[in-house]
Amino acid sequence: MINFQSRWWLPVMGVSLAILIVDMTVVAIKGRNAEKAPSIQDVFQGETHEFSDDLGQLRSVVPPTDYVATEPENHGPQYRTADWLKAQGSLAWTLQVMAVEDEEVAKSYLAKREDKEQFAYFMYKEGEKTEYIVIYGNFVTMELALGVADTTDFSLPEGIRAGPEKFMTYVPHVPLIQPAIDQPPPAKYGAVPIIPAENNNPESEVVSPSTEVSPLGSENSTNSALPEIKPEVDPF
């Protein structure tokens, strides 16, 4: 048994090696003859794109205009919105320092303060009345807010002092969407011309009563226009 194995293992190994070499040769020949697929870089580099000068301008749909948007409203650096007020906390307190109708008064007051980073102001609208409210600080309790109000000089007129108020009491009266900063477009683009519709159905036209003639009337008028013919009588 041992002699048989030692006698046949060498030819078997030679045949296996020959088959492996033949397979590798066939694969190499097929790979050499196969068409090479273009790479992504070759695809993009080979494409050419041409765009017109008015691409995206829609000149045939929207006529050009010389309308220029107005400058945005210039709020101060301490101006805040309703989202900022909500972020301060539903139970947090603040000190209301002043409420004025002119925003420039609030901006001027804050510009003179050295501790302006502790202040904020926002638009407050109730009914037809619009005010700008200046507040100071964020406090956990009303007692802490009152303590700061007694120890801080807000440079207010005599008889006026800062008072505590919750942030959430302001939120319903602060506009969520600020007024548009752009003025409306010119009047010539505000209306659409009315074009009367064409009547393509002639059968729907109504004949005027003055021109309407009944069939009977037309027959009578025709007969009246012809001379009257009398029958001949044979005398015999």
User: How many C-beta atoms lie closer than 10 Å to residue 62's C-beta?
Assistant: 9
Q: How confident is the model at residue 57 (pLDDT cuts 50, 70, 90)?
A: low
The Cα–Cα gap between 140 and 89 comes to 9
Res. 48: pLDDT tops 80: no
Res. 2: pLDDT tops 90: no
Report the pLDDT averaged over residues 1-18.
Answer: 69
How high is the mean pLDDT of the chain?
75
Q: What is the pLDDT of residue 120?
A: 96
User: What percent of the chain shows pLDDT beyond 70?
Assistant: 54
Report the pLDDT averaged over residues 73-96.
Answer: 92
pLDDT tens digits along 98-149: 999 999 999 999 999 999 999 999 999 999 999 999 999 999 999 999 999 9
The pTM assigned to this predicted structure is 0.47
pLDDT tens digits along 169-187: 999 999 876 554 444 544 5
Q: How confident is the model at residue 69 (pLDDT cuts 50, 70, 90)?
A: low
CA geometry: angle 47, 53, 54, nearest 5 deg: 120
State the DSSP code for 197.
Answer: P
CA geometry: angle 62, 66, 71, nearest 5 deg: 115
The Cα-based distances of 236 to 144, 213, 230, 231 in angstroms read 145, 47, 18, 15
Q: How confident is the model at residue 190 (pLDDT cuts 50, 70, 90)?
A: very low
The Cα–Cα gap between 70 and 182 comes to 5
